[in-house]
Amino acid sequence: MKKLFKLILILSLFSLNSSQIFAAEKVDYLKTDWSFKGLFGKFDRATLQRGYQVYTEVCASCHSMKYLSYRNLSEEGGPEFSEAAAKAIAASFEVKDGPNADGEMFTRPGKLSDKFVMPYDNVKAAQAANGGAYPPDMSVLVKARGGGVDYIYSLLQGYEDPPSGVTLDDGVYYNKYMYGNKIRMAAPLSDGIVEYGDGTNASVEQMSKDVTTFLMWAAEPHLEARHQMGFKAIVYLIILTILVYFSMKKIWSRVESEV
Partner 1 sequence: MSDHDYKPKSKVGQWFNDRLPLLTLANHLTDYPTPKNLNYWWTFGGILTFCLITQIITGLTLAMHYIAHADMAFESVEHIMRDVNYGWLIRYIHANGASMFFLAVYIHIFRSLFYGSYKSPREIIWILGIVIYLLMMAAAFMGYVLPWGQMSFWGATVITNLFSAIPLVGEGIVTWLWGGYSVDNPTLTRFFTLHYLIPFLILGLVVLHIWALHVPGNNNPVGIDIKKPSKDTVPFHPYIVIKDGFALLMFMIVFAFFVFYTPNILGHADNYIEANPMVTPAHIVPEWYLLPFYAILRSVPDKLLGVVAMLSAILILAALPWLDTSKIRSAVFRPLYKQFYWILVADVLILGYVGAMPAEGLYLLIARVATAYYFLHFLVILPVLGFKERTLPVPLSITEPILGGSPNLAAARHRESKIK
Residues near partner 1 (CB under 8 A) are: 9-10, 12-14, 16-21, 23-24, 39, 67-68, 72, 136, 139-140, 143-146, 148, 179, 219-222, 226-227, 229-231, 233-234, 237-238, 240-241, 244-245, 247-248, 251-252, 255-259
Q: How far is the CB of 242 from partner 1 (least distance, A)?
A: 9
Q: How far is the CB of 164 from partner 1 (least distance, A)?
A: 27
Q: Which is nearer to partner 1, 88 or 248 (CB)?
A: 248
Q: How far is the CB of 108 from partner 1 (least distance, A)?
A: 23
User: Residue 170 carries which DSSP code?
Assistant: T
Q: 51: which residues sit within 8 A by CB, 6+ positions away? A: 79, 210, 211, 212, 213, 214, 215, 217
160, 8 Cβ separation under 8 angstroms = no
Q: Which is nearer to partner 1, 119 or 136 (CB)?
A: 136
Q: Which is nearer to partner 1, 10 or 101 (CB)?
A: 10
Distance of alpha carbon 246 from alpha carbon 235, whole angstroms: 17
Q: Which is nearer to partner 1, 178 or 219 (CB)?
A: 219
Q: Which is nearer to partner 1, 100 or 225 (CB)?
A: 225
Distance of alpha carbon 227 from alpha carbon 34, whole angstroms: 14
Q: How far is the CB of 167 from partner 1 (least distance, A)?
A: 23
72, 115 Cβ separation under 8 angstroms = no
Q: How far is the CB of 251 from partner 1 (least distance, A)?
A: 5
**Closest to 216 (Cα-Cα) out of 48, 25, 30, 31:** 48
183: helix, strand or coil? strand
74, 86 Cβ separation under 8 angstroms = yes
Q: Which is nearer to partner 1, 161 or 258 (CB)?
A: 258
Q: Which is nearer to partner 1, 169 or 258 (CB)?
A: 258
Question: Counting beta carbons within 10 angstroms of the beta carbon of residue 54, is it exposed (0 to 12), middle (13 to 18) or buried (19 or more)?
Answer: buried
Q: How far is the CB of 105 from partner 1 (least distance, A)?
A: 21
Up-side HSE of residue 81: CA atoms within 13 Å toward CB?
19
Q: How far is the CB of 1 from partner 1 (least distance, A)?
A: 12
188, 58 Cβ separation under 8 angstroms = yes
